[in-house]
Each structure stands twice: as C-alpha cells, then as structure tokens.
C-alpha cells in the first residue's frame, strides 16, 4: 500500500508573536498523482503562524494557558528521554501558542479495546490519533466521538488547511463534515508481510526471495531443524494480520473499511469487481488457511501457549531468538538497518504478502490522521498545537526524532546516530502518526540501500485504493455487526493459530456462528451501500 502526494504551498505570513497573530494564506495548488515523485512544499518562513495565525484575518486570544491532550497508540517510553524531549516541546508551545502538550498513551496490550473504550467514554480528550483502516474511525464517528472541523480548521490550523487539497478533505468527511486531518503528505508503504533472515534462508537451500507461504513453511522448518533455541515465529496470539495476509496472497480481494475486530471478513471481490461484496471466510480460501495454520502449529513453528503470549517478537528477532517478524515495509526498512548491527550478516529480507500475486493496492490517505474529541474543552488551541507539530520544523523534529545531539546529528542534510549512542539509554519515540509531512523530514543517512529499488518495484504493480470515500453506515445493522465482531474475537484466534482442533470443523462452526449472528444481513447491507457508492463514484466522473 502506497501513499504519495504532490503539493506546492505558498503562504504569505504577517504579524508578530503575541497573544494574537494574524496570518494570510493563499490556497495551495495540488496534484494528487500517486504515480509521480513527491514534490515537497516550500518551507514555511514563520512556523509560529501555524499555531497562532488566523487565515480569516481575525485575532485569536491565547491569553489563557491551556493543556492539550493527544491520544497516541504505543507503549509509553520508560528510559526518561521522552520527558526530556517533551520539556523542550512544551517550552516552544508555551512561547508560540501558550499551551502545553500531554500525551495520553494507549498501550499495545489489548490496544483496540482500550482505544475504543476511551473514545466511547466521553472523556474530554483533545487530539486523537485516528485511522480509517485500522482504528475504527468511521465507526467511532458514527458514535459521535469526534468534533466536526470544517469551521475551525481555516482559522486555527491555517497552514494545514491550505496544504491539504479539497480532494483529500473529501476523504475525511462523515455526513459531509470533516472528522479528521489526514496524514496525506507523508510518503510510506505499509503493505504487510514477513521479515525474515536471508542468511538462514540460504543456509536452508532457499536461494531466491520468498514469495509464497509454501516456501515460508520450508524456511520455518529449516529453523526448527537447524537452529536450536530459536522460535521460527513467536507471534502475539491477539494479532489477526496473518489472516489478511493469507487472503492477500491467495486471492485478489480488497478488504473493505467495515471493521469486524481482530480481522476483516468482508471484502471487495477484486479490483475489477471492487463493488461486489465478498467474504473469503465462506470459500475454500479460509479452509485452506486454517489447515495450514493447524499444520504449522502442530510442527511447533510457534509456542504452544501462543494464544496467551504477550511477548515482543521483534525484540526476539533482533536478539536472534526468532526467525521472522510480521509487519510492514516501513518496519522492514528500519529493522534492516538495525539487524545489520545487532545480527551482522543476517541479511534481513521482506516477503510482502502481495508479491505472491502482484496485487498491491495503494494506501488510503486516512491510514493515519488526527481528530479532535467531541468533548474537547479546548478544540481551538488543540488545532493550533497540531498545526505547530505538523508545520513548525523545530517542533516537528523534536516530536519525530528527539533532541539533536542526543538522539541524532545532521551531516550533509542527513540524519545519523551520535557517536556513543546507546539504544536503551538514548532511544526516543512519540508515535506521532497523525500528521507527518515530507517537507519537514530529515532523511535517514543509514537507511537501507535497497529502499529505492523496493519502492520502484511497488510502483510498477500498485493499484489505487478504491474505498477512500466509502463510509459504511452501520446504523441499519448495528446489532448484527456487534454480534459478528464478537464471534470473530471469540473463535478467530484459535483458528488463526491452529488451536481449534480439526480445521474443517472449526471453520464450519465459525461460519455457522457468523450466520447465526446475522452475517447475511450484514453482507447484504454492505452490498447495498457499495451499490450506492458505485453510483456516486460513476456520477462524479
């Protein structure tokens, strides 16, 4: 999945920093050609206007100091570096917006449940990390979790408002109101697959890149036979990505933005039949998947108590105690560099699930984004703070990279680790995934040399994401969707990791429970709304 945006931003800024500041912005011109190279906007000359400027020419009163919360997905850092960086961030926010930022962490253990409960609680949070394809954004919007931003953005986040083109804002709307700010100006691939050791693959006689599950199984068996003390794969039993990965490798189905919890069960049949609702759960695809997972589980490719395991598989890969990690391209690019240091000669490689059939679909621009909580007490200041984080290079670099000289140094325009850097002592992250932009990025001087070739290969086969403006209205099937999601959560994990007994019987029982929960009514409603979406798309051409 791929995201590229081209944009040229011209902003005239006037005024001086005080309790209020006026900025005048001219609209951007934008070309959303995802096949072209990213063209970065001109640098902002007065980043403070992003927080305190008013595109309308009016004045903004920032005399009252306000604390702004920001919901982030991730485990709170524990080495003290985060606090040191935030002290600097907040000094700048105090100066530029008379505000302070507090991160509200939703940690990875049971993250989906915790995140949705937080949003449903009515707690007055300000900024919220969102994503329409993995964080149930539309479902939460339907529950009233977010504040409409149409009237606020031009005044309180003027640089972001002009930077995001109308076609992108259209993909952020629910009932014709803007519900989130998209991370639409950041280049990334987040198509999933397996990270594996190239040195071990060669040792096991696998001399070409892994491109199918059968060869992956041979790799796992090689680890089992020849690497005592190493777990072929040590997954967290709550992860459902493996189901979507198998479907991606064995069909051309495209998962629809209709969340059913642990893994999706309703897809568009293919890119050519994108408006036809289809479920691979009800054909041989899922039966074959369940059989393979039972076989792999029986062979000991993961631990016996996988369903209760909460460990860190990536850390085990880095320590040489696991042979793979399941995640996406961006993770691979970072881990490749890290593994070259931690496991010299490991030659980390990546098997994208889409490489089996070359059926790569681009990424929604709302894969990452930021919303404002419906009960936020300070939505205006929250947007000012967001505009600063996204647009002010100094604050952006702090939020994304940490302190220069501690977490990184810049040489010849590229970012490197300082001499003596210790990952446990000095590591920093904020998990800011809701508004990164290419123009403020500092290129990584140690990035994987094969990155350009990977991106070029993806470019040759990608198809544009077809559901960016499809918002499923669950109101007619709320009960059915809830019941189906519960069945997925209750029965799915055991099937996914080969712990449900006979796989054919397990899948048939799963299907029966889905039907009893109202699956047929749910799929019929999805199809009805896809038909309406098709009409809308075709009429707008």
The secondary structure of 270-323 as a DSSP string is -STTTTSEE-GGGSHHHHHHHHHHHHHHHTTSS-TTGGG----HHHHHHTTSBS
For residues 312 and 316, give the distance between their C-alpha atoms in angstroms, rounded to a whole number.
Answer: 7
> From 3.30.470.10, 3.40.920.10, 3.40.190.10, 1.10.3720.10, which CATH number describes the 2-188+364-440+450-461 domain?
3.40.190.10
- 526: tokens are 């999805």
Q: What does the pLDDT look like over 65-82, one tens digit per residue?
A: 999 999 999 999 999 999
What is the band of 29 on the pLDDT scale with cuts at 50, 70, 90? very low
pLDDT at 26: 28
pLDDT at 24 over 90: no
Compute CA distances 260 → 167, 197, 284, 414, 474, whole Å.
28, 33, 20, 42, 11
pLDDT at 101: 98
* Mean pLDDT, rounded, for 479-502: 97
For residues 370 and 286, give the distance between their C-alpha atoms in angstroms, rounded to a whole number.
Answer: 35
**Are 361 and 465 contacting, i.e. CB atoms less than 8 angstroms apart?**
yes
pLDDT at 147: 98
The phi-psi region of residue 360 (left if phi > 0; otherwise alpha if psi is between -120 and 50; otherwise beta) is: beta
Q: What does the pLDDT look like over 269-316, one tens digit per residue?
A: 999 999 999 999 999 999 999 999 999 999 999 999 999 998 899 999
Q: What does the pLDDT look like over 116-156, one tens digit per residue?
A: 999 999 999 999 999 998 898 998 999 999 999 999 999 99
pLDDT at 58 over 90: no
What is the band of 59 on the pLDDT scale with cuts at 50, 70, 90? confident
Give the predicted TM-score (pTM) of the model: 0.76
For residues 204 and 227, give the distance between their C-alpha atoms in angstroms, rounded to a whole number.
Answer: 11
| Cβ-Cβ contacts under 8 Å for 48 (sequence gap 6 or more) | 17, 21, 96, 388, 392
> CB under 8 Å, gap of 24 or more: what pairs does 86-92 form?
88/398, 88/403, 89/395, 89/398, 89/399, 92/388, 92/392, 92/394, 92/395, 92/398
pLDDT at 503: 98
Q: Helix or strand or coil: residue 6? A: strand
- 456: tokens are 């070029």
**Are 498 and 296 contacting, i.e. CB atoms less than 8 angstroms apart?**
yes
pLDDT at 22: 30
pLDDT at 228 over 90: yes
Q: Helix or strand or coil: residue 69? A: strand
Tally Cβ neighbours within 10 Å of residue 270: 14
- Higher-confidence residue of 170 and 43: namely 170
């Amino acid at each position: 999945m791929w995201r590229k945006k081209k944009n040229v931003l011209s902003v005239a800024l006037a005024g001086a920093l005080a309790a209020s500041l006026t900025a005048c912005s001219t609209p951007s011109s934008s070309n959303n050609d995802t096949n072209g190279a990213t063209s970065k906007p001109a640098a902002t000359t007065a980043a403070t206007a992003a927080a305190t400027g008013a595109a309308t020419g009016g004045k903004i009163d920032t005399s009252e100091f306000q604390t702004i919360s920001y919901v982030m997905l991730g485990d709170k850092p524990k080495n003290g570096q985060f606090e040191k960086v935030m002290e600097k961030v907040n000094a700048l926010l105090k100066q530029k917006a008379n505000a302070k930022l507090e991160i509200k962490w939703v940690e990875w253990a049971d993250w989906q449940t915790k995140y949705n409960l937080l949003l449903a609680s009515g707690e007055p949070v300000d900024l919220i990390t969102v994503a329409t394809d993995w964080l149930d954004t539309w479902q939460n919007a339907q529950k009233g979790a977010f504040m409409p931003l149409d009237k606020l953005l031009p005044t309180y986040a003027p640089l972001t408002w002009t930077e995001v083109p109308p076609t992108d804002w259209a993909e952020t709307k629910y009932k014709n109101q803007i519900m989130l700010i998209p991370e639409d100006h950041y280049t990334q691939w987040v198509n999933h697959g397996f990270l594996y050791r190239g040195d071990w693959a060669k040792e096991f006689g696998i001399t070409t890149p892994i491109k199918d599950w059968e060869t992956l199984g041979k790799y796992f068996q090689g680890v089992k036979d020849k690497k005592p003390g190493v777990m072929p794969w040590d997954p967290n039993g709550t992860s459902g990505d493996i189901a979507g990965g198998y479907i991606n490798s064995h069909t051309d189905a495209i998962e629809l933005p209709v969340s059913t919890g642990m893994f999706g069960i309703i897809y568009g049949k293919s890119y050519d039949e994108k408006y036809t609702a289809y479920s691979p759960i009800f054909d041989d695809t899922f039966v074959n998947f369940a059989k393979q997972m039972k076989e792999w589980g029986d062979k000991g490719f993961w631990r016996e108590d996988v369903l209760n395991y909460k460990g860190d598989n990536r850390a085990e890969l880095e320590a040489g105690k696991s042979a793979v990690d399941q995640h996406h391209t961006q993770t691979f690019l970072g881990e490749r560099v890290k593994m070259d240091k931690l496991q010299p000669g490991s030659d980390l490689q990546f098997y994208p699930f889409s490489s089996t059939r070359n059926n790569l679909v681009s990424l929604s621009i709302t894969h990452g984004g930021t919303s404002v909580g419906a009960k936020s007490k300070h939505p205006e200041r929250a947007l000012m703070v967001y505009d600063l984080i996204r647009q002010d290079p100094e604050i952006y670099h702090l939020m994304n990279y940490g302190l220069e000289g501690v977490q990184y140094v810049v040489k010849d325009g590229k970012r490197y680790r300082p001499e003596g850097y210790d990952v446990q002592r000095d590591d920093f992250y904020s998990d800011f995934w809701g508004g990164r932009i290419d123009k403020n990025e500092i290129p990584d001087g140690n990035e994987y040399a094969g990155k350009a070739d990977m991106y070029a290969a993806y470019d040759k086969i990608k198809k544009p994401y077809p559901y960016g403006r499809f918002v499923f209205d669950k109101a007619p099937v709320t009960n059915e969707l809830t019941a189906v999601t519960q069945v997925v959560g209750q029965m799915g994990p055991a099937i996914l990791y080969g712990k449900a007994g006979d796989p054919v019987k397990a899948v048939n029982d799963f299907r029966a429970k889905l039907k009893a929960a109202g699956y047929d009514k749910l799929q019929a409603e999805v199809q009805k709304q896809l038909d309406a979406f098709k009409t809308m798309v075709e009429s707008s051409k």
